[in-house]
Amino acid sequence: MASLINCPHCGARPKEEFTIRGASVVRPALSAPDEDWHRYVYIRDNERGRIFEDWHHAAGCRRWLIVERSNITHEVFSVTDAADKAREAAQ
């Protein structure tokens, strides 16, 4: 059986309907020093365990989602609409 992602808009859907952009990484401020930008662009820690990733529901609602999952077991813990998460962060 295929792994399922519980899209907040479409319900449980097979993971093959999604594309993954990668880990959710906080972008430095435009005025940040060059060292911060170098680390953001080129240097990434490959953390094990629960991580947040940006996923796109390409074959469904076409929304960007924040998926919290284990990169060891691939278990999905939560799925949040990226626009909702951005609105919460802005408040």
Please name the helix (run of DSSP H) or strand (run of DSSP E) that holds residue 2, with its range, or none: none
- pLDDT for 41-84, tens place per residue? 898 777 889 999 999 999 999 999 999 999 899 899 999 999 99
> Model pTM?
0.77
Structural contact between residues 76 and 65, judged by C-beta atoms closer than 8 angstroms = no
Domain boundaries, the chain: 4-90
Q: What pLDDT is recorded for position 12?
A: 94
For the structural domain made of 4-90, what CATH number should be given?
3.30.2270.10
Examine the pLDDT at 2 and tell me if it is beyond 80: no
